[in-house]
């Protein structure tokens, strides 16, 4: 209880700082993006179209990071509506399908025959599922090229809860990482923010749900999100 109070405090402080900075950084990024688009044909003419592509994707990455920081500053009260688990997962998976394909990773969604319904902030919860899927894709990427990488999304009902299982056969993690991964800023990646899971954990907690993880090094990881079913 004390630890999660401290984490909330850390996130609230982060929120105040990031909200004020993000706006100032976003505006110049947007105009840079616009001007690069404008000069793109000229770069193409001199055979440097690749440069434009790299610049644009780096700008998008910077925007993603700002977006993630801003998310952590959002007021914690979710705007709940009744939503289908199948469509929540479908909508999240569509957004990351292209990345999986590009990585040659098999992304399997075992959709429910009988859909389950939950009361959630759809935007926030989609972000949660995306954060975990993104981590899964990053984890399978770091294994060797002969490895057939695979991410599976599954749903089950367990008592009064819907359980979303996201499993990957990626690099897994050791016990030390497993005990820290929900802490804000904890990351083992050179370009990571360490915010994805701490923000996700807080969102799930605000929905009366929980998240648990199991992992075996060099074998894979499974996250289970538990959300109260609509009654
Ligand atoms: P980031 O992705 O920016 O590092 P996260 O909060 O999303 O931050 O994750 C924190 C850390 O948890 C990651 O750096 C990684 O070490 C570990 N992790 C999360 N998901 C997985 C996974 N599916 N497989 C292996 N490690 C993971
Ligand atoms: Mg992440």
Is it the case that residue 228 has pLDDT exceeding 70?
yes
Which ligand is the nearest neighbour of the Cα of 139?
1
Q: What are phi and psi of 175, to 5 degrees?
A: -60, -40
Q: How far apart are CA 154 and CA 224, in angstroms?
A: 9
Q: How far is the CA of 227 from the centre of ligand 2 (A)?
A: 21
Buried residues in 118-153 as b, exposed as e (16+ CB within 10 A)? bbbbbebbbbbbbbbbebbbbbbeebeeeeebbbbb
Complex confidence, ipTM = 0.99
* Protein residue whose Cα sits closest to atom 8 of ligand 1: 194
Give the pLDDT confidence score for residue 29 in this predicted structure.
92
Give the pLDDT confidence score for residue 179 in this predicted structure.
95
Q: Residues lining ligand 1, judged by CB closer than 6 Å? A: 131, 135-136, 139, 168, 170-173, 177, 181, 186-189, 192-198, 221
Q: What are phi and psi of 49, to 5 degrees?
A: -60, -30
Give the pLDDT confidence score for residue 200 in this predicted structure.
92
Q: How far apart are CA 128 and CA 192, in angstroms?
A: 16
Q: What is the pLDDT of residues 53-70, one digit of tens each?
A: 999 988 988 887 787 777
Q: What is the 3-state secondary structure (H, E, C) of the chain?
A: CHHHHHHHHHHHHHHHHHHHHHHHHHHHHHHHHHHHHHHHHHHHHCCCHHHHHHHHHHHHHHHHHHHHHHHCCCCCCCCCEEEEHHHHHHHHHHHHHHHHHHCCCEEEEECCCCCCEEEECHHHHHHHHHHHHHHHHHHHHCCCCCCCCEEEEEEEEECCEEEEEEEECCCCCCHHHHHHCCCCCCCCCCCCCCCHHHHHHHHHHHCCCEEEEEEECCCEEEEEEEEEECC
DSSP lists the bridge partners of residue 83 as 118
Q: What is the pLDDT of residues 89-139, one digit of tens each?
A: 999 999 999 999 999 999 999 988 889 999 999 989 999 999 999 999 999
Which ligand is the nearest neighbour of the Cα of 182?
1
Q: What are phi and psi of 74, to 5 degrees?
A: -60, 145
Give the pLDDT confidence score for residue 142 in this predicted structure.
65
């Amino acid at each position: 209880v004390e630890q999660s109070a401290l984490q909330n405090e850390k996130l609230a402080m982060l929120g105040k700082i990031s909200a004020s900075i993000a706006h100032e950084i976003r505006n110049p990024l947007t105009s840079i993006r616009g001007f690069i688009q404008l000069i793109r044909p000229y770069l193409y003419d001199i055979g440097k179209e690749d440069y434009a592509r790299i610049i644009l994707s780096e700008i998008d990455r910077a925007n993603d990071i700002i977006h993630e920081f801003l998310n952590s500053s959002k007021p914690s009260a979710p705007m709940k509506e009744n939503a289908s688990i199948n469509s929540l997962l479908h909508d999240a998976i569509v957004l990351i399908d292209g990345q999986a394909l590009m990585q040659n990773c098999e992304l399997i969604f075992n959709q429910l025959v009988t859909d389950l319904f939950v009361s959630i902030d759809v935007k926030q919860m989609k972000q949660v599922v995306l954060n975990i899927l993104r981590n899964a894709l990053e984890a399978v990427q770091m294994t060797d090229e002969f490895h057939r990488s695979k991410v599976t999304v599954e749903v089950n009902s367990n008592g009064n809860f819907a359980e979303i299982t996201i499993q990957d056969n990626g690099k897994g993690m050791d016990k030390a990482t497993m005990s820290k991964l929900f802490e804000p800023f904890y990351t083992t990646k050179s370009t990571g923010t360490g915010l994805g899971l701490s923000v996700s954990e807080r969102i799930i907690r605000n929905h009366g749900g929980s998240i648990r993880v199991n992992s075996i090094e060099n074998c894979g990881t499974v996250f289970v999100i538990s959300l109260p079913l609509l009654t």
